[in-house]
Copies of this chain bind each other. A is one copy, B any other.
Amino acid sequence: MKIAVLGTGMVGETIGSKLAELGHEVKMGSRSATNEKALAWAKKAGSKASVGTFADAAAFGELVFNCTKGDATMAALELAGEANLSGKVLVDVSNPLDFSKGMPPSLLVSNTDSMAEQIQRKFPKAQVVKALNTMNCSVMVTPRQLKDTHQTFLSGNDAQAKAKVRGVLEQFGWTNEEIIDLGDVTTARGTEAWLLLWIRLMGAMKTPTFNLKLVKA
């Protein structure tokens, strides 16, 4: 599949590399078509990897991963362009973390709204699926490194779009049972709010390499 990865940070690099390793054609998008981090990534990721502007990447991908930082997401998606995102599955991995008031971060949007909803409202012709934002990027693409099964979540209005994202998660190593469809895009309020607990758990557990498993009776 042709896939765009927006963002050159650790999340974009990790997801981009995994997708290329799986045989997908991956274009990493950033503000500049000659971004040094993106070029270095592409060199490492091999012949399936290429770079471009946000718009280049979004035009290229049939699936678009938003891996930009939450406070830069809206600007990045505007540069990607409404036309390039229309009809595309837009996987939102970002979290609206606000580091401006010190540590630990709070959320820029929460409780009665979410980043995923803001994106869906701004780009109504894209099919936004919130996914993978509930864990460290190493766990996202290598779920089997943890000592037990664990959960990941999908939030989005379009069932086909969620099925497509589920397929990619299964390629990452997630089992079908581990992937929980929470419902429409408003359920991203739940997975984004989880970050407020996650950042404190990272402190208490002294590692970012963990996730939650849901346990029933």
Contacts and interface: CB of A to CB of B under 8 A. Distances in A.
A172 to B, nearest CB: 16
Interface string A157-180: 000000000000000000000001
B180 A110 contact: no
A215 to B, nearest CB: 4
Interface stretch (A22-30, A33-41, A73-81, A200-208): A200-208
B190 A196 contact: yes
Contact of A201 (B110, B111, B180): B180
B197 A191 contact: yes
A189 B112 CA distance: 16
A2 interface: no
A147 interface: yes
A21 B190 CA distance: 36
A130 to B, nearest CB: 12
A183 B197 contact: no
Contact of A148 (B180, B182, B196, B215): B215
A147 B216 CA distance: 6
A104 to B, nearest CB: 9
Interface string A26-65: 0000000000000000000000000000000000000000
A215 B217 contact: no
Contacts of A201: 180, 182, 190, 214
A209 interface: yes
A10 interface: no
A183 B210 contact: no
A66 interface: no
Given A106-B111, A200-B183, A200-B187, A205 B216 contact: yes
Interface of A: 101, 106-107, 110-112, 145-150, 180-183, 187, 189-191, 193-194, 196-201, 203-205, 207, 209-217
